[in-house]
Amino acid sequence: MALLVQKFGGTSVGTVDRIRNVARRALATQRAGHRVVLTVSAMSGETNRLLALAHEITKIPSAREMDVIAATGEQVTAALTSMAIQAEGGQASSLLGHQVRVLTDNAFTKARILSIDKERIFEALDRGEIAVIAGFQGADEHGNITTLGRGGSDTTAVAVAAAIGADECEIYTDVDGVYTTDPNICASAQKIERISYEEMLELASLGAKVLQIRSVEIAMKYGVPVHVRTSFNDTPGTLVAKEDSALEGMVVRGVAYDKGEARAHVVGLEDRPGLAAELFEKIAEANISVDMIVQSAAADAESRAGITFTLPKSDLARGRTWIDSIAKGLGAREVRYDEDVVKVSIVGLGMRSHAGVAAKMFRLLAREGINIQAISTSEIKVSCLVASKYTELAVRALHDGFGLSAPKASV
Amino acid sequence: MALLVQKFGGTSVGTVDRIRNVARRALATQRAGHRVVLTVSAMSGETNRLLALAHEITKIPSAREMDVIAATGEQVTAALTSMAIQAEGGQASSLLGHQVRVLTDNAFTKARILSIDKERIFEALDRGEIAVIAGFQGADEHGNITTLGRGGSDTTAVAVAAAIGADECEIYTDVDGVYTTDPNICASAQKIERISYEEMLELASLGAKVLQIRSVEIAMKYGVPVHVRTSFNDTPGTLVAKEDSALEGMVVRGVAYDKGEARAHVVGLEDRPGLAAELFEKIAEANISVDMIVQSAAADAESRAGITFTLPKSDLARGRTWIDSIAKGLGAREVRYDEDVVKVSIVGLGMRSHAGVAAKMFRLLAREGINIQAISTSEIKVSCLVASKYTELAVRALHDGFGLSAPKASV
């Protein structure tokens, strides 16, 4: 008898019929002898409907009140799902964020979970019920309703799994697992059967959208095995779990890309120690998060250097004026911006023990005539910034070059 | 500086524009120097939409889960109203039932309020905010969401007013006050300027729909002045308050009618002591509430008596089989049912000190050739059951006969 958390996203509970399917699936799991906790999202479209209503009232709605409204989407689904389970002859009760004391900080619309009261959940399980927890929501220490940001139901599910010590957290979604790269741009992409937390975290950070980063962090911290799978059939998906020594042979596990960043190039800086520190301190003060950084040493007679960095495109409109004035204050000639860039990354635990992986990546890109604008590395990933027109070409070259396109049997 | 509770019903918050009007009205009150607590209903149509969704899942949804769903309607309105107040330059925060600890019993879908935590409300007021409380909802001692039944937002408003010691509770609705009778069937009906709790309670119990009975009970218990008025203009409405000696001259304050009851006539009972007690004990055990009761003594040679009583039409389908078998068990010949009846009532505190009011009522009905099928009286009301085809005739005859149609100036 296992203790399982099953999370169903907005598409999986998007209609009354789909909610019935979720109920049947959960009941089948329970009848197979397991204890089941469900976490559900709002019916697809519902959150947008609610936000539109708020925006009809005011262009800049209060974050606290937005959360009060947004939380109702999951509240309704949790109750409907409980009813559907009861209609199928099972027992269930809905549990809202504040009822299972999903305690969060007070960062409305993007709160972080601090703790969950497992007792309320076990009370329901001990009564033979399926506990149906409204995802995405919590309450701060004063009882204010909070929400966890888009995709927050993943985080609820994994945090609940951690709190109750679940054997596995199943994330049901509209794709059937995690792929070696985006199948939409690389036909030879393959479903990954098992991947480590560290690799999944890098892939999620680097642009793979199948799981929320925060949920992977929690899963890794508490060692919760996460099974990403589709709700439309019974095919096993991808298990995100502790590093598996059997897989150490794989140097690169996946190729990710992210078009969400823009490049800023600060030109004609004085080449003196501490200037870069000063620049990025001031940028941080403006609350702009910087990702890749490349410093080019002075090469000309005037001894002036350049600094290239990337920042989220969504911060560009707001950040541009800041960056321009900061750079000017430091004596820079100008700042050039480029939004037509993509960050292409390879991820794999095997890199830790394999030399030459980065070099091979550069060679594969060069062979296609792709110029690298910036590089960043960590222990288990290498990222290159290239012109966005090369996205598909670069991803396919890396996917083939690192042997990810091989037929499944030979993996 | 007064402390005021303003309650707005579903029609008054039915659109984004109307919510803006509510916000402006509350702000105008605050800017006039008062402290304001709002209580809001769900946007009109919303509760029905949510219930329909539940009924799509299952014909007999769990009452606990129904409340989880139904409560979201008021939750959304409370947040939207707070946003609207903020958009108009004011300060506000929404407060849900569980946040102001509207503690109720656990009778889901028709819970009763046990207590309210006024501290949360005063915290908001002390910050200079308008506190916007979601009506209709509460939580039981285990934190389960409960709702108070249709019209429950009136009850929330009055209970909040009682808890915080408000100077007045304004109930904004789509009619402009309480009338001497239903203006739809009696053109000479007049708006009542002031009415006592006792009279309002009788009128509400006897069919007037403008206020929930429970809210009047709470207002009376805690002495909360309730001002029933329209949200569409600034005309004063009806003040429901303590008995006013200046109005003692009015014998009858209003005429009410109720088509919601059916008549049952148990024929051919043995005329022995204790039989009526036995009959109504058994009916009470079947959870059927009986209103008027008339016992006719044995008049024929066989010494058999009859008992007539009324019960809610809504209980008739379920109750009929019970009543038939109970009556049969007691030796009755048969039970005859009649749904074409109406209960017409006159209400007035002045009856306490005026003899002959009932007799005058019977005379007024007799003059119109209306046969009385049953009579029930209390200290401040007299009700007569008559054939429903006489509804308008009876109401108008009583309204004129007791001087309620006189021009306002002469009241």
Other residues' Cβ atoms within 10 Å of the Cβ of residue B304: 16
pLDDT at residue number A83:
98
Q: Determine whether domain A341-410 maps to CATH 3.30.2130.10.
A: yes
Termini Cα distance of chain A: 32
Average pLDDT over residues A142-151: 92
Average pLDDT over residues A360-384: 92
Side-chain-side CA neighbours of A173 within 13 Å: the count stands at: 21
Q: What percent of chain A has pLDDT over 70?
A: 95
Q: Tell me whether strands B341-347 and B381-387 are parallel, antiparallel or unpaired.
A: antiparallel
Report pLDDT digits (tens) over B132-146.
999 999 999 999 999
pLDDT at residue number A407:
64
pLDDT at residue number B387:
96
Average pLDDT over residues A283-291: 86
**How far is the C-alpha of B134 from the C-alpha of B174, rounded, in Å?**
19
Report pLDDT digits (tens) over A147-186.
998 789 999 999 999 999 999 999 998 888 999 999 999 9
DSSP-derived secondary structure letter, A371: P
Contact B98 A143 (CB under 8 A): yes
Contact B83 A20 (CB under 8 A): no
What's the farthest any 2 CA atoms get from each other in chain A?
82
Average pLDDT over residues B179-200: 93
pLDDT at residue number B303:
57
Give A99→chain B minimum CA distance, Å.
Answer: 6
CB-CB: which of B62, B94, B96 is closest to A82? Answer: B62
Closest residue in B to A16 (Cα) is B57
Report pLDDT digits (tens) over B295-326.
776 555 555 678 889 999 988 988 899 999 99
DSSP states along B177-239: S-BSS-TTT-TT--B-SEEEHHHHHHHHHTT--SS-HHHHHHHHHHT--EEEEESSS----EE
Other residues' Cβ atoms within 10 Å of the Cβ of residue B213: 17
Nearest-10 crossing angle of helices B197-205, B213-222:
160
What strands lie across the sheet with B103-104, from one edge to the other? B113-115, B103-104, B137-139, B145-147
* Residues sharing a CB contact under 8 Å with residue A71, sequence separation 6 or more, in sequence order: A96, A97, A134, A136, A137, A145, A147, B75
pLDDT at residue number B291:
87
CATH class of the structural domain A263-338: alpha beta
The answer to whether A227 and A327 are in contact (CB under 8 A) is no
Average pLDDT over residues A205-232: 90
Report pLDDT digits (tens) over B62-84.
999 999 999 999 999 999 999 99
Contact B50 A98 (CB under 8 A): no
CB-CB: which of B54, B66, B75 is closest to A72? Answer: B75
- The single-letter code of the amino acid at A370 is I
Domain positions in chain B are: 3-174, 263-338, 341-410
**How far is the C-alpha of B121 from the C-alpha of B114, rounded, in Å?**
17
Q: Tell me whether strands A168-173 and A137-139 are parallel, antiparallel or unpaired.
A: unpaired
pLDDT at residue number B246:
62
Domain B3-174: give its CATH code: 3.40.1160.10
What's the farthest any 2 CA atoms get from each other in chain B?
82
How would residue B409 be classed by pLDDT, with cut points 50, 70 and 90? very low
pLDDT at residue number B9:
92
How would residue A86 be classed by pLDDT, with cut points 50, 70 and 90? very high
Kind plus residue range of the DSSP H or E element containing B386 = strand B381-387
pLDDT at residue number A317:
85
pLDDT at residue number A323:
92
How would residue A298 be classed by pLDDT, with cut points 50, 70 and 90? low
Residue listed under structure tokens 């594969």: A364
pLDDT at residue number A411:
40
pLDDT at residue number A2:
96
> Mean pLDDT across chain B, nearest whole number?
91
3-state helix vs strand vs coil in chain B, percent to 5: 40, 25, 35
Residue listed under structure tokens 């007691």: B330
Instruction: Determine which of B62, B85, B127, B144 to mutate to test the interface with A (most A C-beta atoms within 10 Å).
Output: B62
Kind plus residue range of the DSSP H or E element containing A3 = strand A3-8
Contact A53 B145 (CB under 8 A): no
How would residue A299 be classed by pLDDT, with cut points 50, 70 and 90? low
How would residue A249 be classed by pLDDT, with cut points 50, 70 and 90? low
Q: Find residue A113's DSSP bridge partners.
A: A104
For residue B271, is pLDDT > 80?
no
CB-CB: which of A72, A82, A99 is closest to B65? Answer: A82
